[in-house]
Every structure is written in C-alpha cells, then in structure tokens.
Amino acid sequence: MSNPYEYYPNLYRAAQPAQGQGQGQQTGQGQGYAAPSGGMITQQGQVTASAGMFEQSYVENILRANRGKIATVYMTFTGHQQQVFVGYIMGAGRDHIVLRDVNTTKTFILLTIYLDYVTFDEEVALPYQL
C-alpha cells in the first residue's frame, strides 16, 4: 500500500468550488456544495445524504459511535506478528484509534494503517441505519 490516505476521502474540510474540473458545484443557497454522489457537503465539511442515498461508512465513524465500549483491536505491524489490544474506545480519527487499556492506565494511539479488524463483545452502534 503506497499511500494509506488514499482510502480516506477528505470529509473534514469544507468543500471548495470546482475549478473547471466538475467535482462539485455551488448550490446558490449558501448552504454548501453539491457532492458528486448526490449528497450535500456543508461549509463545515460534513456530508449529508439526499433521499435514497446511503451515508458512507468508515471504521472511524463506527468506532466514534461506540465510544466508551470495550473493543478488541487486532493489528499487524510491518514485519511482526499480529498484536491484540483490548480497551475502551476513547476516540478515533482519520488515521488513528485512541484506546485505553482495560487493565492498566495506559492509553494507546494506534495507527489504522496497521489495523486488521475490531471486535466487540456487545451490540455495536452504527452511525447509519440498515
């Protein structure tokens, strides 16, 4: 994987008007810009879904929706065997997960580039409806 950020579209900055590339267009209502997928990107950089469109789901959004729950995070670092971290989800961002160990006071900042998968022993809250 040459660039880990290619998998994370930039949803955190406000959309910029298209500069002759047709990526988006100003709505004229002062609310934001039309997203190529048919939704709306607000001035705060949030994507809202239009009728019939599903909001895109990313690991970081699912982890944020489950803040405070205990998760088991499986990671494989370059050239090493898989490591397992068990802890409370404190937060998650584009490229990291903040996990507090259940048995100690240690807090880990884990880079998602090394993430294999995450399991929960309880029901998972989803930031979208099925």
Q: How confident is the model at residue 127 (pLDDT cuts 50, 70, 90)?
A: confident
Residue with tokens 């099925």: 130
Global pTM? 0.58
Smallest Cα–Cα separation from 112: which of 89, 102, 128? 89
Distance CA 104, CA 31 (A): 46
Mean pLDDT, the chain, integer: 73
Distance CA 76, CA 113 (A): 9
Q: How confident is the model at residue 46 (pLDDT cuts 50, 70, 90)?
A: low
Q: Which tens digits make up the pLDDT trace of 114-125?
A: 999 999 999 999
Q: How confident is the model at residue 51 (pLDDT cuts 50, 70, 90)?
A: very low
Distance CA 97, CA 117 (A): 12
86 forms bridges with which residues in the sheet?
72
Local structure of 112: helix, strand or coil: helix
Least confident of 6-15, 29-38, 57-66, 110-119: 6-15
Smallest Cα–Cα separation from 10: which of 70, 130, 97, 93? 93
CB-CB contact of 53 with 37 (8 Å): yes
pLDDT at 110 over 50: yes
pLDDT at 7 over 60: no
